[in-house]
Structure 1
């Protein structure tokens, strides 16, 4: 896909998520890998009204080539790309139910969500919790980097998810699946649940191997 089409895809999918309440205000950011760098949503922008011509274009060293100043969370994206060479897009949202999940006290930091549905297992797999760091803290990038080589999706405590995909559409779909599973998990609190068994999860991994 050429750069013009990638710019249009970023704008279209960002508006779709904004219109459906998955992101709001100036929260969240998107990036796509180019042959010689990245496209990213600009800092302070809202996903509902992005201008394809003003998207931030960065070179392979992270220097701004054209467009507006990139998101201040650009380091989250570049860290994911460094650790996941097959990833071509990254989505980071502050989606309500995923953030709520990252605020809970008694969750397994190695895997925050149980395997409630097949599609969560297929699109996310396991979801580690990254400890809280203030926005913009470079220690957050270090913590994400430690997990990113083994997980294409992570949840930042009290902050939101960061999800990589082979394509932007894949990353968006996985992020949406995470949000819906978080919503489902919260709805089932204090109720007896029947998550997938380890055998069922292993079967899904065999049938639908993740190659991100």
Structure 2
């Protein structure tokens, strides 16, 4: 079996993300670049059919031409979005896409998310990208262009996919999972802060602080 440790770890993280509402039964997918030849990736219908409770062998080994090298399952149609990220910037080591519950409030409104917590300041802006249908070449192109606009500052970046979900770009799987958790907490706080602001209970603070961006 190829890459047994890495595939087991991805299976464990996927289950944790599903259990913590980082995605839902409607979808989500995660890939990890292992080297110049292979990525590992969750199979299609991982949520709907398996509730993200996957065996290591269900984690697919995929070459850079999008061929399955090993694994029990079929490729998600969103492979094009993942590959667009990897091909655009060599720094990217993990692409995490989910239908995260709190962040979907902003994605479905087509809104950029206010970045309010100290733990998310490394994200910079949290943009909502223009709409394109899920799995479409148009969506992959929109993501590719956004990745290109980030240049060397591509890691620890998150974006909202309009009406669809979230996308996290990181150098490895553990950091991507961490970024998703931070994003979800920020989303939970942000929409409540916006309500408080509108009700006149407390204005949303815009003061700049000397944040620790390395933590």
Secondary structure of the corresponding residue to residue 7 of structure 1: helix
Question: Once the 2 structures are TM-superposed, how far is the Cα of residue 119 of structure 1 from its aligned partner?
Answer: 0.6
Determine the structure 2 residue equivalent to 1:145: 144
Secondary structure of the corresponding residue to residue 163 of structure 1: strand
Which aligned pairs between 1:1-212 and structure 2 lie closer than 5 A?
3-35=3-35, 36-46=37-47, 48-67=52-71, 68-104=73-109, 107=111, 112-122=112-122, 124-149=123-148, 150=150, 151=154, 152-192=157-197, 193-195=203-205, 197=207, 199-200=208-209, 203-204=210-211, 207-208=212-213
Separation of aligned partners in 1, 2:23 and 2:65: 28
Separation of aligned partners in 2, 1:196 and 1:171: 27
Separation of aligned partners in 2, 1:126 and 1:208: 14
Question: Once the 2 structures are TM-superposed, how far is the Cα of residue 136 of structure 1 from its aligned partner?
Answer: 1.6
Separation of aligned partners in 2, 1:31 and 1:22: 15
Question: Once the 2 structures are TM-superposed, how far is the Cα of residue 189 of structure 1 from its aligned partner?
Answer: 2.5
Separation of aligned partners in 2, 1:60 and 1:146: 20
- Would you say how many aligned residue pairs link Structure 1 and Structure 2? 198
Q: Which runs of 5+ in 2 are unaligned?
A: 198-202
Separation of aligned partners in 1, 2:170 and 2:204: 28
C-alpha change, 1:196 and 1:171, in structure 2 (3 Å) is farther
Residue pair 1:95, 1:179 contacting (<8 A) in 2 also: yes
Per-residue deviation, residues 28-67 of structure 1 (Å, max 9, x unmatched): 1110102112111000112531121121211122222122
Separation of aligned partners in 2, 1:23 and 1:148: 22
Question: Once the 2 structures are TM-superposed, how far is the Cα of residue 26 of structure 1 from its aligned partner?
Answer: 4.9
Secondary structure of the corresponding residue to residue 108 of structure 2: coil
Separation of aligned partners in 1, 2:206 and 2:88: 29
Q: Which runs of 5+ in 1 are unaligned?
A: none
Separation of aligned partners in 2, 1:195 and 1:14: 35
Separation of aligned partners in 2, 1:191 and 1:6: 44
Question: Once the 2 structures are TM-superposed, how far is the Cα of residue 24 of structure 1 from its aligned partner?
Answer: 2.2
Greater shift, 25-34 or 136-145, is seen at: 25-34
Q: CA RMSD for the aligned pairs?
A: 2.0
Per-residue deviation, residues 145-195 of structure 1 (Å, max 9, x unmatched): 111131532210010111011110101110121122111111223323444
